[in-house]
Structure 1
């Protein structure tokens, strides 16, 4: 699959140049030219990486970075800026940026930084899965909603892991039974509804928005 990169940059010529270069390298690219639009697109589209200009109309790239990190979003973010003071770099990294490019920059270096950040994120993703403010760690079998640790039984964890591994994909009851309970499961087929109810109670204990949605007559889907 192509990696999807979100470019939030209000300089039209620069944004178009970056877009063309990234598409030539095989990436899928979305360009947004203002802060609020960039924040909304980042939350809706869950890109694999964000190139984020510091100075933007609406809200700054720094503020976008802070807001994404506050909701638990770990998407790699590379800040693009003309600010070259050490204090500026520190502010950007403290806000949650993973990397920092000072304008003007070489496209070769930018592409190398993108590859490095995507590679590092993919290595982390092999054990950690994230959707919205929900994070699941396969190695420790821990689940967090924002910063709240959620205690799950083994089967609750397995069900949530299957759902979060296929975000926004409608999974049928048969698919869930086969994957989570096994092909030879002979118990009550209502077991899925029971465990979905258990998960919802735990995931929504602090009145958080529902993430596990019912698709009537079909199955379930993890989406906002």
Structure 2
């Protein structure tokens, strides 16, 4: 089965429901206030994004399979400096989360939307700390186009990461976040000189598990969450 077929299977399966439960248990998130939460969508864009192969090799995926990520600007109020999927708030004029995720990705990375094949959405995931209800949108990059930072007030960098490198056990950790006297743990990936953690790492980890791509890794290896001191107190 191809990588694209694996992802298409996730859209029609129960991944989203299990993911939502996992997130509540892993991060001990409070229920979102229905009067306060904001709707958002992120684009999980997979495909052969360029001709540079992975540094690692996995029998589960092709060496040229990548996922598109951004590093959020350090001046943003929500999740500053974190590695994330392209995405953002769903506007009234958007035709649902799929359209919103694609629009935001175009605005953030300059990609050509005509080359993106939307596969479908996963179950909404709550982010209690920032009061977002996020819809992950799975997509395949059929015709890759150049990408770069469009607005440095929003993003510090735009980059592709080979999935085989993310799956490499030596690149996987459990991140530890101490916030307001509580300890939160979740999956993390250390690749390309950055740490992918939090919501983004949790989504990637769950997608890899459900797609059957995950290699066994040492979950006792811990690294601190890369957050600013003032954010840890929130």
Flag the structure with larger Rg. 1
TM-score (norm 1): 0.23
Greater per-residue strand proportion: 2
**Greater relative contact order: 1 or 2 (C-alpha under 8 angstroms, separation 6 or more)?**
2
Q: TM-score, normalised by structure 2?
A: 0.22
